Amino acid sequence: MTLDERCSAIEECYEFMLAYAAQGLNTDAGSQSGTQVRDYLRRAVTALTGIAEVINAGVIDAGAFRAVVERDAHDSLAAIELVLAQPAISSQLIDNLNASIHLRALLTDLFLLDEILKLQRAPA
């Protein structure tokens, strides 16, 4: 999975979670959104797993920032896995995950890397 694909999967998950949180659901059972929230979270787990190695593989010369992304990805992964382990995922639970400083830091890291990649690809 490329860095772009990983970033997209994580951003799509976050956007879906915003919509899910607004639905006011007590559980993910019995609704299409409930099934989807777990799918999006699992895709985010896949995207987060090994993201630092992709950055380190030379996709972008992140230097010391690689360690920041790795830490934020690790912390976000722990939070997402905690949510996935719950028997029911409510809108409030997802809202709290959305508000997690770990997830927000990771998203900011990825937005920064995405902009750097765009600049590197732009014609001189």
C-alpha–C-alpha distance, residues 65 and 23, integer Å: 36
* Mean of per-residue pLDDT scores for the chain: 88
- What is the domain partition of the chain in residue ranges? 3-121
C-alpha–C-alpha distance, residues 47 and 84, integer Å: 15
Give me the pLDDT at residue 115, please: 83
Which pTM does this prediction carry? 0.86
Q: What is the pLDDT of residues 39-98, one digit of tens each?
A: 999 999 999 998 878 776 655 666 778 888 889 999 999 999 999 999 999 999 999 999
CA dihedral of residues 99, 100, 101, 102 (deg, nearest 10): -140
Greater confidence, 59 or 14? 14
C-alpha–C-alpha distance, residues 54 and 6, integer Å: 9
